[in-house]
Amino acid sequence: MREQPGAHFHSDPAARGSARTPGDTGFHLSFESGDLATRDALKSVVGNLHSRGLGGELVGSVELVLAEILNNISEHAYADRPTGPVDLRMSVSGGLLRVEIVDQGIPLPDTGLPGMGDADVPAETAELPEGGFGWFLIHQLTESLQYRRDTGRNRLTVTFACT
Amino acid sequence: MDLSSKIERDVQIVTAELDRIDAAVAIQFKDWMRDVTAGNECRVILDLGKVGFIDSSGLGAIVASLKQMPDGRRLDLACLQPTVEKVFRLTRMDTVFAIHRTVAEGLGHGRA
């Protein structure tokens, strides 16, 4: 990979492999987790995507995937405290929109990334699931999904095709 | 409460008066639905025309709203925007609800 002096990830050797995109098209948000902060963050992300001339179904997918990821952080990674820091970096390069979300909370289970889940719908109304849709949607709507735990941080990287 | 309600042709039409059903309002939404539908026995059509975004929490709240309806009482959906319809379709929850393009279509649909 190319060396990018001053790029965000260089202070963190573990993240080098994913630091492909130089900073000039980058977008960075730093905020405390929480339902209302998530709303504000999504609004900023959507605004930024629109300013890049992106729209339609792609923006809908990005907003939904990031909502699920940020909800998971509030609910699970920071389950043991009211809020915690979240960093979100987004860039577009080579027809790929890439978003990295970093938190300092509880790691995902040892089994790593939750899978696609089960999309079978029970016949009985009483048996219908009221949750567990989040990871399913994240898998469905992303081009790729990568999780890494390093130096007390969860780093989730998702990509979307944007042509 | 960000819901409004009226009865028309023996159907209770509940309109979601908010633009997002997400983690910030999901629990309240389920409670609002219980309160607004209490005391009636007719079919309910939930008009989601003003809702431009739902996440899995919002979807869960709508499913929970269905599950808390008394036995035999229907909850239909109407006027789903494309992004909302997509969440139902991907999770296959579109097979659980009767989904109408318009409230008028939903009113006609229930007539035997």
A80-104 pLDDT, tens digit per residue, is: 999 999 999 999 998 999 999 999 9
Contacts with A142 from chain B: Cβ below 8 Å: none
- At A126 the pLDDT is 83
Interface of A with B in 109-128 (CB under 8 A): 119, 121, 125-126, 128
Q: For strands A96-103 and A85-93, give the pairing.
A: antiparallel
Q: Which residues contact A17 (CB under 8 A, 6 or more apart)?
A: A1
B3-107 in CATH: which number?
3.30.750.24
- Asked whether residue A10 carries a pLDDT value surpassing 60, the answer given is no
DSSP letter for A105, please: S
What is the residue extent of each domain of chain B?
3-107
- At A132 the pLDDT is 81
Interface of A with B in 55-84 (CB under 8 A): 57, 60, 63-64, 67-68, 71, 74-75
A18-74 pLDDT, tens digit per residue, is: 444 444 468 999 999 999 999 999 999 999 999 999 988 999 999 999 999 999 999
Of residues A35, A133, A140, nearest to B23 (C-beta): A35
From CA B61, how far away is CA A31, in angstroms rounded? Answer: 26
B68-107 pLDDT, tens digit per residue, is: 998 878 999 999 999 999 999 999 999 999 999 999 999 9
Contacts with A128 from chain B: Cβ below 8 Å: 63, 66-67, 96
User: What mean pLDDT is reported for chain B?
Assistant: 94
Q: How far is A97 from chain B (nearest CA, A)?
A: 19
Residue of B nearest to A118 (CA): B91
B10-62 pLDDT, tens digit per residue, is: 999 999 999 999 999 999 999 999 999 998 889 999 999 999 999 999 999 99
Residue A128, judged by CB atoms within 10 A of its CB (0-12, 13-18, 19+), counts as middle
Interface of A with B in 6-45 (CB under 8 A): 35-36, 38-39
A24-161 in CATH: which number?
3.30.565.10
CB contact under 8 A, A137 and B66: no
Residue of A nearest to B66 (CA): A125
Query: Do the beta carbons of residue B67 and residue A128 sit within 8 Å?
Result: yes
Token couple for A39: 């709303």
Residue of B nearest to A119 (CA): B91
Q: What are the angstrom distances between the C-alpha of A86 and each of A6, A17, A100, A144, B16? A: 21, 21, 10, 21, 31
Nearest Cα to B22, choosing from A51, A41, A99?
A41
Beta strands in B1-112 (DSSP E): 3-8, 11-16, 20-21, 43-47, 53-54, 75-78, 99-100
> Cα torsion at B101, A136, A144, A104 (round to 10°)?
120
Banded pLDDT at A8 (limits 50, 70, 90) = very low
DSSP letter for A117, please: -
A93-144 pLDDT, tens digit per residue, is: 989 999 999 999 999 987 677 776 666 788 888 888 888 899 999 999 999 9
User: What mean pLDDT is reported for chain A?
Assistant: 84
Strand partners, A88: A29, A101
What ipTM score was computed for the predicted complex, to two decimals? 0.91
